Amino acid sequence: MKRRTALTTTGVLAVAVVLSGGGLALASGDDGGDPGETETPISGSALAEASDAALAHTGEGTVTATEVGDEESYYEVEVTLNDGSQVDVQLDEQFQVVDAAPDSSTDD
C-alpha cells in the first residue's frame, strides 16, 4: 500500500509541476505590444535634453523611462509625478513638447 501511495503522490507532484510551468509560460508571455517592436531608450546628450524638456513641461517629478523613435513622436519621456501618477511627454526632434498625456499602459 505504501508503494501505491508513493507512486500516486509522485504522479500528482509531476502533474502539478507541469501545470505550474505552463502557467508561468503564459504569465511571462506577450505583453500585448507589436511582435517586432523594440523600445530603444534615449541616450547621450539627447537624454539630458529630453529629460529637461519633459520635466520643465510637467513642473515636477522624476524621469522613469525614455524611448527614441516612439510611434507617437520622435522622443517619449515617462515622468512619474510626486503623487505617483505617470505622464508620457511626447517631444519632437528639437525637444519641443508635442503632446503630454497620462500614461495609460497596463504594465504596472
Would you say residue 61 lies in a domain?
Answer: yes
Determine what percent of the chain is predicted with pLDDT higher than 70. Answer: 62
pLDDT of residue 105: 67
C-alpha cell, 89: 511627454
CATH number for the domain that contains residue 98: 3.30.505.20
pLDDT of residue 103: 82
Each residue's pLDDT tens digit, 6-44: 445 444 444 444 444 444 333 333 344 455 557 899 999
pLDDT of residue 91: 97
From CA 83, how far away is CA 32, in angstroms rounded?
27
Would you say residue 76 lies in a domain?
Answer: yes
User: Which range of residues forms the domain containing residue 61?
Assistant: 44-102
Would you say residue 56 lies in a domain?
Answer: yes
Would you say residue 66 lies in a domain?
Answer: yes
Would you say residue 39 lies in a domain?
Answer: no
Would you say residue 89 lies in a domain?
Answer: yes
How many residues are listed for the chain in this entry?
108
Structural domains of the chain, count: 1
